[in-house]
Structure 1
Amino acid sequence: MNKENLLEIANTVMPFGKYQGRVLIDLPEEYLLWFARKGRARSRIFDRVI
């Protein structure tokens, strides 16, 4: 993964949930880990985080 891809992912806005409207880089690590474990239906945001 290159720098541009990482920046794009980090600046992706969370489209739903408790942190809706916030960029991924600002989300608590614990939430991102929970989100990854939860196994939500595959979505673009899920694929980016994982």
Structure 2
Amino acid sequence: MTPAPKTIAPDAPLADAITLMADTRITALFAVEAGKPVGVVHMHDLLSAGAR
């Protein structure tokens, strides 16, 4: 398990998630709100959203 996983706000723009994933060479981010995990964003989610 990663000791300090990368996180993003649930209302962050898709471009921010893509940039963070590309810069850190990861394929998933935890969506965190008020210090609590509320979801996971995977690269496949972003690709699907972009295809719509």
Q: Do the two structures share a fold, i.e. TM-score over 0.5?
A: no
Which has the larger strand fraction? 2
Please report the TM-score for the alignment, with normalisation by the length of structure 1.
0.31
Which has the larger helix fraction? 1
Please report the TM-score for the alignment, with normalisation by the length of structure 2.
0.30
Question: Larger relative CO (CA 8 A, sep 6+): 1 or 2?
Answer: 2
